[in-house]
Amino acid sequence: MMMQKLILGTVILMLGMGAACAAQDRDPLPGAVGMADALLQRHEYLRDSIDREKLDAVHRDLREAEHVLRKPAPDADDKKEALEKRGDASKRLLELLQAASCAQTVRMSSQTAMTAPLAPVHLPGDSAAFLFRVENGEGPVQCKVSLLDLSVAAGTHLGISDIPKGTTWVLAGLDRIPQGRISHRFEFTADGDGELTVPFETVTLAHGLLGVRVLSDDTGKPAPAMIRLEWKTDGSEAKPANALDFAVLFDNQGSATGLRRANIPGKLGARYWCIPGPFEMALPPGEYSVTVLRGIEHAPVQDTVTVESNKTVTRSYRPERWVNMAKTGWYSGDDHVHTQILSDRDAGLVMNWIQAEDVHLANIVKMGDIYRTWFEQRGFGKSFRVEDGGYILSPGQECPRTHEELGHTLAMNITGMVRNTDQYYLYDKVFDEVHRQGGLSGYAHTNSDSFYVHRDMSINIPKGKVDFAEVLQFAKLGTDLYYDFLNLGCKVTASAGSDVPWGGSVGEVRVYAHTGKKKFTADRWFDAVRRGNTFVTNGLMLDFTVQGAGPGEEVDVTDNRPLRVKARAWGDARRDVPAKLEIIVHGAPVKTVVPEGADQASLEADFTIPSGNGFWIAAKAEGRDGTRAHTTPVYVVRKGLRFWKYDGLAELITRQEASLAEVEHIVAEAQAGRDPNGEANPDLPVTEMAKQGPALLERVAAAKQLYAELRATAEHEATLRK
């Protein structure tokens, strides 16, 4: 009996603790995050604007708390702190709502009723916002947001349904309100029964017309461009009348829209539409900020236009080309563009995009994983390239592509998709076939070591299977992995890709390849990448030679003679200018140049360096607003020696052997029926890794032997080095 009482008491205590935890976890103000979001967006339409600074702070705290509380199993201390932050922010939001004199109080009842009409609302444009405090008997307080598009709403009766018991703060937003004086009705419906109608009128001004055309600075003719129109009244973005929508090209992947948020450091990092040519459109009266971009070789255009009712205003913009790299033989490319191209219409959309961003060659990649493919292409090879006025779309691939095992690969200039799921983890099979086709093989995302790409790099780069590595993406230059393999004496070309639609816009990062004075062609561009005649950038330009040799080239030496190094980094003040130019040898700066004045747009280095026993040497630049640029190295090779970082080899090789050990581990896990995290998993990646594991381990063993041979080479070189 005593034991039964003890058990019963324990159960009651546990239930009490569970109830206390549940009460603590309960959202003190349901809908608060959505309300804070909507208030920020509709802030300007409320007659007495809520304190923006306080609202921003509330919104930030609610978002931060929500981020923690949405985790599957947050840390107990983090959860406690997040609950306290949410509670405090909810209280502050409620105080802001209660202090808002623009709020209309409506009281629900079990009857159908109508209130007196609200005062006519005079609007600056075609959007509005109304704040209601809806009382529906006793109950908790919560928030509700209702956004209504009057271009699709039936009639003028605007329903706000399912008002629960208690007090509900409702923010009702209206968009695309017809011009002139319009009668409306909000119809509040309570849970169960009862309906309350609130009549009101809106009065809007007649629209004006805005006409825009963007001209090429090269030809003076209309050209595609990226454009942003922002209504200064409320900060909303207007979609140009002829804006291209790329959603149909993106297989519902990434940001599947034509509105692209460009990953551009500084003030230009915003959302833009691609326009194929001139347009004219009706807009609400007011001031508009206009930003026009045509890629990083053009200065941005920033303007303010006033649109007046029943009037037409036109603007013609000609973004100035501040540099023309093509005239010096350097042509821009993007190695990582995901779009479907199954028709001439698809190709036309993408061609407009790369011309708007002034990217001369886009590697349009069909993507695959072990399950399926995306971004289908109508074919590969020269006959399926699309060319227009010096701009080229060339089909390629991102495959094989594993997330938890070996990373993502890229291929350019292929004649057919290379994909065999029975050998999916044997990346060298793909690299060899791509090379047989005359193409180029490389790795994606090496700037961030995403998806464990370092593992396969440790297998295949020292074998000479890989041509290039993406070191610049999403505005981030990442060279740690790149430097490791250069320091091992492996030649790898620096490349860059936007990864749209996950990235912002085509060419927001780009790789320049030097094709020389001959006519620009895709074949010449790919040959330049193969040779390593490249630099990557998202803003600044670089010029770099060592004893007259450019990126990717060798300087052969037989003695310790001085070598002349010349480098220049430059930009345009309307985009970004260099804050630092560095000359990098074996991963460390040996020369750094900084500006002498605030208006300096160019930095130069001209010095000599002893050739010593050989090395790799590259130029790197950093802009004041955060843009980055980096060359492929020049390789200084002394006869009989590798150009590697000799004094760091032990650590470098140990690091690659650790990567090989990781591969051995994931094979062992798969053969035990587990995923790379050790969880039991019967899915295809695990079963295929188990099947292909022995062949992959053969490649690991071969790589181990190669690293052993590098150690032996280092011992042999010891007697030759001075």
Give the pLDDT confidence score for residue 73 in this predicted structure. Answer: 85
- Predicted pLDDT of residue 23: 47
The answer to whether residue 484 is domain-embedded is no
Taking residues 12-41, what's their average pLDDT? 69
Q: 3-class SS at 176?
A: coil
Q: Which amino acid is at 592?
A: T
**Is the alpha carbon torsion for 349, 351, 357, 359 positive or negative?**
positive
Evaluate whether residue 114 is within a structural domain: yes
State yes or no: pLDDT of 118 exceeds 90: no
Strand 440-443 relative to strand 468-473: parallel, antiparallel, unpaired?
parallel
Q: In CATH, what number is assigned to the domain containing residue 616?
A: 2.60.40.10
| Number of domains the chain contains | 5
Q: Note whether 130 and 64 are same-domain residues.
A: no
Tokens of 429: 């099979």
- The torsion of the CA quartet 677, 681, 684, 685, rounded to 10 degrees, works out to 10
Residues 626 and 656 in one domain: no
State how far the Cα of 539 lies from the Cα of 510, in Å rounded to an integer: 9
Same domain, 178 and 109: yes
Residue 170 domain boundaries: 104-204
Q: Are 311 and 213 members of one domain?
A: yes
Residue 68 DSSP one-character state? H
pLDDT for 192 equals: 63
Provide, rounded to the nearest whole percent, the portion of the chain with pLDDT above 90.
83
Q: Is residue 559 part of a domain?
A: yes
Whether residue 478 has pLDDT greater than 70:
yes
Task: Determine the 3-state secondary structure of 465 from DSSP.
Answer: coil
The predicted pLDDT at position 152 comes to 78
The answer on 634 and 657 residing in a single domain is no
Of 388, 392, 383, 391, the C-alpha closest to 415 is 383
Look up residue 528 and give its amino acid.
A
Kindly state whether residues 551 and 594 are assigned to the same domain. yes
Asked if 213 and 311 sit in the same domain, the reply is: yes
pLDDT class for 21, splitting at 50, 70, 90? Answer: very low
Question: What is the distance of C-alpha 465 from the center of its chain?
Answer: 28
Residue 194 has pLDDT above 90, yes or no: no
Geometric angle at alpha carbon 82, from 80 and 88, rounded to 5°: 105
- How many whole angstroms separate alpha carbon 682 and alpha carbon 275? 48
Mean pLDDT for the chain?
Answer: 93
The pLDDT score that the predictor gives to residue 498 is 98
Q: Please identify, among 620, 644, 668, the residue that sits at the C-terminal boundary of a domain.
A: 644
Contacts 24+ apart (CB under 8 A), 52-57: 54/92, 54/96, 55/96, 57/92
Domain annotation covers residue 466: no
142 and 118: one domain?
yes
Comparing 677 with 505, the larger pLDDT belongs to 505
Whether 342 maps to a domain, the answer reads no
- Transcribe 129-147 into DSSP letters: EEEEEEEESSS-EEEEEEE
- What pLDDT is stored for residue 24 in this prediction? 55
674 lies in some domain: yes
pTM of the entire predicted model:
0.88
